Structure 1
């Protein structure tokens, strides 16, 4: 089945996390912590198909404010595809990119909204993460490995984007074609078509002051 992330079809299967679908299809999504539910950069807005996704978990509710939940925001590393069907998502970092390109002044209000949402849920977020560490659900070694993998994927995505930009901006090379200029025929005025002294092009006379003296030094 396919789901749509940032208006692009992505191959997916039921049971997969949204972040895993986005990563394997090289979609524009944040995942600095490698999908461990820490960095909160993998937020997505569900435009269609919310009923096909896993229900909101307590962990998600500890991260998302009521306003964000009402807007259809989900945490991609904590949400799975439960049923087949049409799902359409817009990642928050893609939303920021589009806003910057079309309405840059709206970013101030957007950042304020997201910052306030994080501040409101900050106590619950800290308590939830502390509980995860105490229960051994976060392996520090695996966390480092996942972060390194996320950075590698991000670098790869940047190079892919640069290659697309360069390919689109490269000017089309035109095939070289040698062109020849026709030489006008000489007018014959002498015997047997030979040109006499009257055909010679007159040489302009050089003023005496401009003539180079025989032994004058040349600087």
Structure 2
């Protein structure tokens, strides 16, 4: 079974192949920050520390929210990412407040 190591929260969890990164974090208290869970807000942005080759392909929503530069730097949206092997992910606490503000603006604009 593949495992996800949530570097920032210090948890490691074994998952089924093709498990969604954000849903796994929610279910097992991995602590990845999120608001919408559907690729709209971008608050579930994580950096893949190790195991990028064990992820699903980058989705259009990720390119739209993160941009090609961030994706090349190893960032993904947890809600759009599925696991095929062992990975380690991290996120910065300093980003959470900024991302929450951006998310609220995007959610309000979509209504």
Does the aligned pair in 2 maintain the 1:30–1:41 contact within 8 Å? yes
| Counterpart for residue 96 of structure 1 | 93
Rounded Cα–Cα distance in structure 2 between residues aligned with 1:50 and 1:11: 17
Gaps (5+ residues) in structure 2?
none
Per-residue CA shift, 1:192-217, capped at 9, x if unaligned? xxxxxxxxxxxxxxxxxxxxxxxxxx
Per-residue CA shift, 1:47-75, capped at 9, x if unaligned? 11111100112221111122211220000
Q: Which has the higher strand share?
A: 2
Aligned length: 98
Structure with max Cα Rg: 1
| Counterpart for residue 31 of structure 2 | 28
Determine which structure has greater relative contact order: mean sequence separation of CA pairs < 8 Å that are 6+ residues apart, divided by chain length. Answer: 2
Match of 1:51, SS state, is helix
Rounded Cα–Cα distance in structure 1 between residues aligned with 2:79 and 2:89: 14
Does the aligned pair in 2 maintain the 1:3–1:12 contact within 8 Å? yes
Gaps (5+ residues) in structure 1?
100-110, 119-124, 131-139, 141-219
Q: Give the RMSD, CA atoms, in angstroms.
A: 2.6
Alignment of 1:53 onto 2:50: no
Please state how far the C-alpha of 1:21 moved relative to its aligned partner.
1.1
Rounded Cα–Cα distance in structure 1 between residues aligned with 2:19 and 2:74: 19
Alignment of 1:87 onto 2:87: yes
Equivalent residue runs for 1:1-219 within 5 Å: 1=1, 2-6=3-7, 7-33=10-36, 35-81=37-83, 83-84=84-85, 86-91=86-91, 95-96=92-93
The TM-score normalised by the length of structure 1 is 0.40
Does the aligned pair in 2 maintain the 1:11–1:25 contact within 8 Å? no
Runs of 4+ residues over 2 Å off in structure 1 = none
Q: Which has the higher helix share?
A: 1
